[in-house]
Amino acid sequence: MIRRRVVVHGDVQGVGFRWSCAREADRLGVRGWVLNRADGAVEVVAEGEAAAVDELVTWARHGPRHAVVSWAEVTEEAPQGLQDFEIAG
């Protein structure tokens, strides 16, 4: 079990990023959350099996069809045993 926090920068709000991310996380069996930040970025916390979390991080680096991702910051964190994936805020 691993946990990664991804802060995605670019034209990533108002393009269905959170909804698409939640759908992808559900497909992969990843737990965590996604939210729009006040600075215009989208923040994702992903927790689960390493391969599934890595796949969601890779997806977040591109986002949904209408997103324009400039860059993504990825950090490792200690898993917290989350039970589902939520769209926050």
Burial of 35 per CB tally in 10 Å (0-12, 13-18, 19+): middle
SS3 22: helix
| 89, pLDDT greater than 80 | no
| 79, pLDDT greater than 80 | yes
Is the domain 2-81 a CATH 3.30.70.100 member? yes
How many other β-carbons are positioned within 10 Å of the β-carbon of residue 20?
Answer: 18
Catalytic residue list: 18, 36
- Per-residue pLDDT of 18-75, as tens digits, reads 999 999 999 999 999 999 999 999 999 999 999 999 999 999 999 999 999 999 999 9
pTM comes to 0.95
Pick from 22, 88, 86: nearest CA to 56: 22
Domain boundaries, the chain: 2-81
